[in-house]
Amino acid sequence: KAGVTQTPRYLIKTRGQQVTLSCSPISGHRSVSWYQQTPGQGLQFLFEYFSETQRNKGNFPGRFSGRQFSNSRSEMNVSTLELGDSALYLCASSTGQELANYGYTFGSGTRLTVV
């Protein structure tokens, strides 16, 4: 079966710009979680969407937002980019029922570089 698809794979943006990242989860999965990964902080939870509703949110500023569509595809948006936003952004797909048994399935991520 198809895995989790994240687009684009790489992105270079200028400070102050905004960016939108996309994630298509595994077919049948209704939950999409977003993580930011940096060498110093590791994986930091951004938010989780389940059936088009934000179910949980991490400790990131309001510049970070997301949404989920009826087909479970999700987008995250970062406005007014800062240099510190440079990171690998990962999307994780799951059924949403529980974390047990198999954990998340991650996409390959979007590497965002802010210059």
Minimum separation from the CB atom of position 107 to other proteins (A): 5
Cis peptide before 8 (omega within 30 of 0): yes
Contact positions vs other proteins (CB under 8 A)? 4, 33, 42-45, 48, 55-56, 58, 90-92, 99-109
Q: Is 111 exposed, middle or buried (0-12, 13-18, 19+ CB in 10 A)?
A: middle
C-alpha distance from residue 7 to each of 24, 36, 93, 96, 102 (Å): 9, 15, 15, 22, 24
Q: Minimum distance between the CB of residue 31 and other proteins, rounded to whole angstroms?
A: 8
Cβ nearer to other proteins, comparing 20 with 104: 104
Query: Which residue's CB is nearer to other proteins, number 51 or number 80?
Result: 51
> In terms of CB distance, is 21 or 90 closer to other proteins?
90
Asked whether the beta carbons of 85 and 17 are under 8 A apart, the reply is: no
Q: Which is nearer to other proteins, 23 or 78 (CB)?
A: 23
d(Cα 100, Cα 2) in Å, to the nearest integer?
21
User: Least CB distance from residue 3 to other proteins, whole Å?
Assistant: 9
Q: How far is the CB of 85 from other proteins (least distance, A)?
A: 19
